[in-house]
Amino acid sequence: MTLFHLAGLATLLAVATAQITTPCTYQEYVCGSTLLTNGYTATTELRAAYSANPNAPNITDAQLSQVLFRCIDQAGGVVGNSYCIVNCAVIGNDTVNDECTM
């Protein structure tokens, strides 16, 4: 293999790795607790995503785990959809959305 082919292969592997570790799928609904487990930070990333919803009630950083977030792109961008008063139920895969329970 030439150096050019090896560089292309390295780039392809880097892109594939990034796609594998993306914490959510476009338009998927995910509990904040899952996002925190996948490396998001409550005080910066999830707070900013939650604050993007202008009608969201005021909650503490600890309560961000009980927020249902919507994935807005393939790069892991999220926006707060709703605060789950009782519980945010983690379904466990990316083919079925997480949901608020009552």
Residue 15 CA to its chain's centroid (Å): 18
The pLDDT value recorded for residue 49 is 94
100 HSE (CA, 13 A, CB side): 13
11 occurs within a structural domain: no
Does some domain include residue 14? no
Q: Which residues contact 70 (CB under 8 A, 6 or more apart)?
A: 27, 28, 29, 30, 78, 79, 81
How many domains would you assign to the chain?
A: 1
Q: Is the pLDDT of residue 20 over 50?
A: no
The structure tokens listed for 12 are 């392809």
- 79 strand-pairing partners: 70
Q: In which domain, by residue range, is 76 found?
A: 24-101
Give yes or no for a contact between 91 and 99, defined as CB atoms under 8 angstroms apart. Answer: yes
Mean pLDDT of the chain: 79
Tens-place pLDDT, residues 46-91: 999 999 988 889 999 999 999 999 999 988 899 999 999 999 999 8
In a domain, 7, yes or no: no
How much is the pTM? 0.75
Per-residue model confidence (pLDDT) at position 74: 85
Tell me if 12 is assigned to some domain.
no
